[in-house]
Structure 1
Amino acid sequence: MKISQILSGKLKSTILFIVIFGLFNSLLNGTLLFFINAAVTGRGLAFPEAYKLPLYVGVVLLALVCSRYFQVYMIRLTSNITFEFEKNILEKIRCSTLTEFDALGKENIYTAINDTKSLAHIPEIFMNAFNAMVVVLCCFGYMFWVAPLGGVIILFTMAILVTIYLIRNKGIQKDLNQQRDLQNSYYRYLNDAIQGFRELKINVQRSNNVYHRWIFPNRERNREITNKTSVKYLDNEISGTYSWYVVFGVIMFVLPLIMKTNTATQAAFLVTIMYLIGPVAILITIIPTYNSLKISYERLVIFNHRLSINEGEFTDKDIHHRAESFSEVEFVDVKYQYINSNNKAAAFTISPISLRIEKGETIFVIGGNGSGKSTFGLLLTGLVKPKSGRILLNGNNLLSENITQYRSYFSAVFTDGHLFNENYDKVDLQETNTMLYELVSLLKLNDKIELEKGADRFNHNLSKGQRKRLALIYALLESKPVIVLDEWAAEQDPGFRRYFYTELIPLLQQRGKTVIVITHDDEYYKYASRIIKFNFGEITYDSSKQETVPGMN
């Protein structure tokens, strides 16, 4: 569902309520205004004196109850819209392709989620604006009823003052756009500074560049724009506040010169204008709020559009699907291209490759950095889609409709993989889970991990190599027929690396796993049942077809 559909749907469902409540609320406010003006001007009301106080108290209490009811209603409505907006964005992220996700950038995702909280207040803002508009119309109607010419003069004066405010507000939207772009960049730079803390510590020049050429200039520019925008808002706020004294001056000094008036009429106008201050302030502040909401909305629409093509990728059938017996995966003339986001040109290409991976094989995928090994792993696991060619699982073509079911045959630990903070799969972590603790023993983590007190998860105070071992345990618990390990042994100590190749991989093979290992560890190639070598996006060697490995030392 699109952001606009969620928003319009909520507004349509509440518009009648808003109109009815606004009119009723205005009636109550108008009644209170009549009471106050009658007391100030000395004009009597059209009902007995004995009923004035009970009626006044009744109107105040009714206004209080209605106001509270509406505020509770708006709180719930705002919460519901926030929930639906966030759910919509999270579903789009969940169903996006890896290529789309990588192109978005984490900072844009966090910004989009924050934008949803702003847009969720639109119904409340609309309601306040509608109520304020009705009150303004009622007040001007009252002034026209008391003194038509005076009402025209006050209306003309206030129109001029509001126009001046709008002109002064004109340049703020551009500044807000720049500020949002700066904030996105800042989160990106800050992430580099935090995640790359050690790298910056040992490279003073790079650290100086990151902070003094990127982060600090970004914050300085943000400070300049913030100051400029805040001063513009301040000028409007101050001029708006003192504009009321201009209106009071017109009532006290200009009206008597233009028209016949008396103290009672002036008092009625002054009280009415004082009653107008709140509603007019609401209407005026709608303008900068609208600018901010417009920016948030436009960015969310763009964000939504970039992730819209895969909406609804997951179905109940996909969620409950379990991998059946695995026999083979076949690539037929499969080609893939990384596209440069700036000029749309191919930045890297996997040339058409054809191969078959059969059940029970232990395949080592080798090659230099940038040769295409990891991209092959992404193609194999269905995380990226081929530009051309076919992938077949057990003889069946891989299609968009069955891509999720295809992925259910694979577990993976990526070279930059993420170890989740929570036990999302609801794995039984108690010692009664013999399969889990057998794997813990096999991965030699017996004395390294323990359950966190009061939490259903293991502690993560582990080294990188140990975290990779824990990630492998979780992957094996998925009990999928094929496991892909991308540079898994790179961060293991020499002793455990040898154990991994000489004992653990053969054990996985004995248990019927098809194991795909992306590796540089040439001293252990002999433990593979098959070796595939990549170079510049091409398969230059496949031991199932050749006996020797050209160029291997």
Structure 2
Amino acid sequence: MNLLLLLLRGSRATVVLAVCFGLLTGLSSAGLIAHINTALAQGGTHVARETILGFAALGILMLGSRISSQLLIMRLHTDTTFVLREQLSRRILTTPLRRLEELGIPRLLATLVDDVQAVTQGLLCVPPLLINAGIVVGVMVYLAVMSPLVFAALVVFSLLGVASYLMPQRRIMGLLRQSRKTTDRFFGDLRSLTHGLKELKLNGGRRRAFLTEDLLPTANQLKAFQRRRSTLNILVTSWGMSLFFFFIGLLLFALPGIAPVSPSTLMAYTLAVLYLQQPLDSSMVILPMLSAGVVALKHIETLDLQGSDGEPVPPAAGAPLPAPSRIELVDVTHVYRREGEDTPFTLGPIGLTFRAGEISFVVGGNGSGKTTLAKLITGLYAPESGEIRVDGQVVTAAGQERYRELFSTVFADFHLFDRLMGLAEGAHAARARTYLRRLQLEHKVRIDEKGALSTTELSTGQRKRLALLAAYLEDRPVYLFDEWAADQDPLFKEIFYRELLPDLKAAGKTVVVISHDDRYFDVADRLVRLESGAILPEAAPRVVPA
């Protein structure tokens, strides 16, 4: 895909109409040059009435066609930019989580911020390029009609000039691609800077190492690429601008000695070439932005996100599945490569059954595969082998979305939205306030009639309670909590294990809890112990004295 195809995909008829207006702008401009040349040839006095009327008509035509072309393309540009952002966001939502994790948050952020902006700027370059092309074509047609001999010389000179301009563009495109790759690393460093502020402020050695070995070298490399690219652009653009005067010099001083050319033809060509300088200079200035847009668009395509550009919305879940009495993992395996390790880590084969009205604790050391198992259970990861069954029915790829709708979750790396989207409006408002009181947050947070939270600037434990509030309001048949109590104070940890989990069980919910709190293992109906990706023989819950 290129930028022009992206525009055509938005509205082919609009693009064609805009191009026609751009060509009309060029033809009317050529007509104005012809009328100016006629008026100058007549000495500026006693100009024919037809020439004056023609000049006025062509001026109005040029103005109208130029405005029409710009309005059409600018409208198409804004529509296409919106569609690009919309499609990119929706394709991210339809792409498997594992693929997004492989790409990494910095690369996705760089795409959503940097690439979309570059593509938008590139699209913004298309309107003036089309209009400038129309002007150049119109004037060149006029020059070809006026003097084929001089026009042939102009064509030869133009081809040499274009070749000298385009040759360095390959190097510039290479620098653009290198700069784009470096931008991914730079976004990663910025993410470390913003997320690791506390750690960096508390350790001067780490802070210096981060600045001198990570952030600043990457920023300096990015600066070097941008400086070299800008230098080449300046040299190439300046060379292109000087070509006009080189040609005028050849036209005035060399061509008359080679072939007979009338003074009126020389004057007309000089005037036309000077007139062409503005649209061509403008085109040379905006071509680098167009090139950056092309590179950014290719980078977006290399993300290999799922979904097609024609999908209006992410795949709908359809009618929700009925609350299951059991969910089975049958010989499920998942293989992935962990950071810093050369050999892949294999989880499984896992054989588990989770039943309604049952609390299951998943326990094990760090790196044993607990969170990966949670993502398999909830359908966020697809198993490499084995199958997941809901009341005996196999969950297929087509049914994955509906299966995920069974779960309300709070993961350890949860995200707290600033409003309870569709969960606290109308009849749900009273329930939301009830849960807010039960979670002891009624003095910290207020929920308005649209579900917006008055604040999310809370402690981690309180933010987790708000995430739990959203999970309660979803009221799904299966609840999964990943180290939810790790950030809670002792009092609320007791409430979570001794009151909230039993209440969910009494409501017939299937509850899965990842936990290290062995003091509360007696709450579980069953312990699932993981070690190096494998399930150890099931043991009865162990009661730890208070």
TM-score (norm 2): 0.90
**Matched-pair contact (CA < 8 Å) for 2:29–2:139:** no
- The residue aligned with 1:405 is 402
Change in Cα spacing, 1:509 to 1:56, as seen in structure 2 (3 Å) is same
**Matched-pair contact (CA < 8 Å) for 1:335–1:387:** yes
Aligned ranges 1:26-425 → 2 under 5 Å: 26-42=26-42, 49-113=48-112, 114-119=114-119, 125=125, 128-285=128-285, 287-303=287-303, 305-308=304-307, 314-316=314-316, 318-319=317-318, 321-339=319-337, 347-425=344-422
Among 433, 438, 450, the residue aligned to 2:434: 438
**Matched-pair contact (CA < 8 Å) for 1:168–1:236:** yes
SS in 2 for 1:400: coil
Ranges in structure 2 where 5+ consecutive residues have no aligned partner: none
Mapped partners of 2:309, 2:159: distance in 1: 50
Q: Deviations over 1:500-545 (max 9, x none)?
A: 21222222222222221110011111122222211111111324xx
Q: Deviations over 1:236-288 (max 9, x none)?
A: 22222222222222222223322334442322121111121123335545753
Change in Cα spacing, 1:153 to 1:434, as seen in structure 2 (3 Å) is closer
Mapped partners of 1:310, 1:519: distance in 2: 41
Mapped partners of 1:187, 1:452: distance in 2: 35
Q: Deviations over 1:157-180 (max 9, x none)?
A: 333333222233331111111111
Mapped partners of 1:275, 1:40: distance in 2: 15
Ranges in structure 1 where 5+ consecutive residues have no aligned partner: none
SS in 2 for 1:526: helix
- The residue aligned with 2:480 is 484
Aligned amino acid, residue 388 of structure 1: S
Mapped partners of 1:548, 1:363: distance in 2: 10
TM-score (norm 1): 0.89
Shift of 1:52: 3.7
**Matched-pair contact (CA < 8 Å) for 2:422–2:451:** no
Change in Cα spacing, 1:324 to 1:332, as seen in structure 2 (3 Å) is same
Mapped partners of 1:276, 1:291: distance in 2: 22
Mapped partners of 1:310, 1:382: distance in 2: 24
1:447 aligns with 2:443: yes
SS in 1 for 2:348: strand
**Matched-pair contact (CA < 8 Å) for 2:85–2:116:** yes
More displaced stretch, 128-137 vs 27-36: 128-137
| Cα RMSD after superposing both structures | 3.3
**Matched-pair contact (CA < 8 Å) for 1:334–1:391:** yes
SS in 2 for 1:171: helix
Change in Cα spacing, 1:4 to 1:107, as seen in structure 2 (3 Å) is farther
* Aligned residue-pair number: 543
- The residue aligned with 1:20 is 20
Mapped partners of 2:380, 2:2: distance in 1: 25
**Matched-pair contact (CA < 8 Å) for 2:368–2:530:** yes
Change in Cα spacing, 1:63 to 1:139, as seen in structure 2 (3 Å) is closer
Aligned amino acid, residue 403 of structure 1: Q
The alignment-based identity, stated in percent, is: 27
Aligned amino acid, residue 529 of structure 1: D
Shift of 1:142: 3.2
SS in 1 for 2:508: coil
**Matched-pair contact (CA < 8 Å) for 2:529–2:535:** yes
Shift of 1:433: 2.9
Aligned amino acid, residue 495 of structure 1: L
Shift of 1:72: 1.4
Aligned amino acid, residue 334 of structure 1: V
